[in-house]
Amino acid sequence: MKFKSLVLFFLLFCLEAESNSWNCNKVDSDTYNCIQKFSDGSTVNYRGQTKNEKPYGNGILKFDQNSGTNKMVGEFGEKEGNVWLINGQTFFRDGTITTRLNGKVNSFKYPNGSSY
């Protein structure tokens, strides 16, 4: 059940994010601070590399307090026009950590120590 919820979260994030644009400001030669605001008032913040004013490359994506996800860390890319974590980890507020390799979730680590 938890796996289905995580998959649903990723699909909803990508669908909702598709209709909104990123506002990015350059920090140094290849680092940007970006923010995306949604119609419900929630925000997503990104710090890292970009391409076409979207998160792309290495960075950290942080979610606001209303999200079940705390942050995503790693290499971002584009999938069907949406920002996607290609290689890295997702840290959920409940302590669950998922790891992605080549765009696919390959492991879950739960707060109780069990892994999938």
Q: What is the per-residue pLDDT across 52-95, written as a single tens digit (0 to 9) for each?
A: 989 999 999 999 988 889 999 999 999 888 899 999 999 999 99
Whether the full predicted model's pTM is greater than 0.75, yes or no, is yes
Average pLDDT of every residue of the chain? 86
β-sheet bridge partners, residue 115: 109
Contact between 48 and 76 (Cβ < 8 Å): yes
Q: Is the pLDDT of residue 20 over 60?
A: no
Give me the phi and psi of 42, to 5 degrees please: -75, 160
What does the alpha-carbon distance between residue 65 and residue 3 come to, in Å, rounded to a whole number? 22
What does the alpha-carbon distance between residue 92 and residue 98 come to, in Å, rounded to a whole number? 8
Q: Categorize the per-residue pLDDT at 6 as very low, low, confident or very high, splitting at 50, 70 and 90.
A: very low
